[in-house]
Structure 1
């Protein structure tokens, strides 16, 4: 009886140890594969963005993406009233160039948390167009311009955050529900070729307007970011919608077999 008890005890002990080993190995496998999968999906989205560079001048009419570089904003009408200026501003045919020169600094996708974010840097952005401006600077000095103008900014950074959705009803598919872009920049130079005045007066106005120019840039940057945001969201979803998860995985080389990758991913989704 004692021998039977000992044999049974040792069997359970060995089974327990084996189970723990399998679980530990499983955790290690899933952890490694999870990191690898997110890394490869990040590479997939990175390639989508990089390939878009050559399509920016013409856009992609089939999915409603207009030309992005140059990016044209037909009209902007603003009445500005802040501590620097009180004036009416009318811009037309505003053309922004330089977006095509972006460099992708960071791209990270995380399916478990459901997001993808990225960071771009650009050496500079330039905007040219026609501007009618009438009002006062510092609410004292009259200012008037009716003609061409330009703004150049350097040290430009653009950050994006996308909401990833995984659908498991029927076929497993990926889709980006939303995308938010934010732009920051360093130095700014502004020029109004028809600014009234001359000599030291005009130079002083330009110095004041350079300080005001950051606000002016943000007046049209919001619409530009909206257009770019819409274009990138359509582009990413165009690629994600090309197939099921298994079909997309064929385009994302990984070191584990495809069947194992799919089973691993479905395991993650069911346990989220």
Structure 2
């Protein structure tokens, strides 16, 4: 009996996959709204598939939960994300810099559009394209920097200082795909491959006290802006590998013990009523923690 159920379920999934657009893909962001603003009511989009509906519903819930984080998974509040202290050191042949940032805050992680989100059940692949409007970094910094660019002339430039960090990444795109394994009977769901391209259109830097607050400070901020844009856009493979190293093991750990039947039950037996998606269930209301630095 179990075998018959498995066969029926697999045939249903195959039919569902083949029923959609080319390449057997289910577009989880329907064509009638190819770009979905997450801060707009997702319920305005009529779902073409239960899977599509539930995934969009999940994305909206995740966004609404970001200000509170995900305590069960050990994830702190993400909108904004705060870190009391951050240390950053860099040593090259001509530069040594030791920096500390206090009250480090990242705003804007929940302000994004879903430009593409498709699921291919045959190839076990998800393709995605997210556009973040603006990611803003703020904090207080101290720096101890030594520049040896003119060491052959016996000239070294040393700078110690502190100031305000104010840096923004605008129109940051994250697109790529992940492949997964989803066992029917034994084992756990698992991400097997992950690749993402991270690009930014513009960087704005208004860091104070970089050699004062005059023309030199503006010149250094301009240099930081161009360096960040070039550093991100010209190092796609390295950044993708780093994201895979940070992201995949944590997700696979969270997926341990979850198989096809768990996900099937979540998709088809969950309450997908419009009232629940758009309404505020008292049990699900996220109350963000107070600003610890206010």
* Structure (1/2) with the larger helix percentage: 1
1:200 matches 2:200: no
Contact 2:89–2:97 (8 Å) recurs in 1: yes
Within 5 A, what are the aligned runs for 1:108-257?
Answer: 108-131=118-141, 132-136=143-147, 142=157, 144=159, 145-169=161-185, 174-176=189-191, 179-214=194-229, 229=247, 233=251, 237=255, 243-244=261-262, 246-250=264-268
Trace 1:31-180 onto structure 2 (pairs within 5 A): 33-36=16-19, 39=26, 40=49, 41-73=51-83, 74-81=85-92, 86-93=95-102, 94-131=104-141, 132-136=143-147, 142=157, 144=159, 145-169=161-185, 174-176=189-191, 179-180=194-195
User: What are the ranges of 5 or more consecutive residues in structure 1 without an aligned counterpart?
Assistant: 1-28, 254-272
Determine if contact 1:133/1:146 at 8 Å carries over to the other structure: no
- TM-aligned CA distance change 1:209 to 1:70, over 3 Å: same
Task: Report the CA distance between 1:121 and its aligned residue.
Answer: 0.7
Task: Give the CA deviation at 1:242.
Answer: 9.3
TM-score normalised over the length of structure 2 = 0.58
Gaps spanning 5+ residues in structure 2: where?
Answer: 1-11, 27-48, 272-294
For the residues of structure 1 that align with 2:177 and 2:191, how far apart are their CA atoms?
Answer: 10
Structure 2 distance, partners of 1:174, 1:142, is 54
For normalisation by structure 1, the TM-score amounts to 0.62
The count of residues paired between Structure 1 and Structure 2 equals 221
Give secondary structure in 2 for the equivalent of 1:34: helix
Deviation at 1:136, TM superposition (A): 3.4
Q: Report if the CA contact (8 A) 1:63-1:234 is conserved.
A: no
Please report the RMSD computed on the Cα atoms of aligned residues, expressed in angstroms: 4.3
Deviations 1:10-64, CA, capped at 9 Å, x for gaps: xxxxxxxxxxxxxxxxxxx997532348524454333322220011011111122
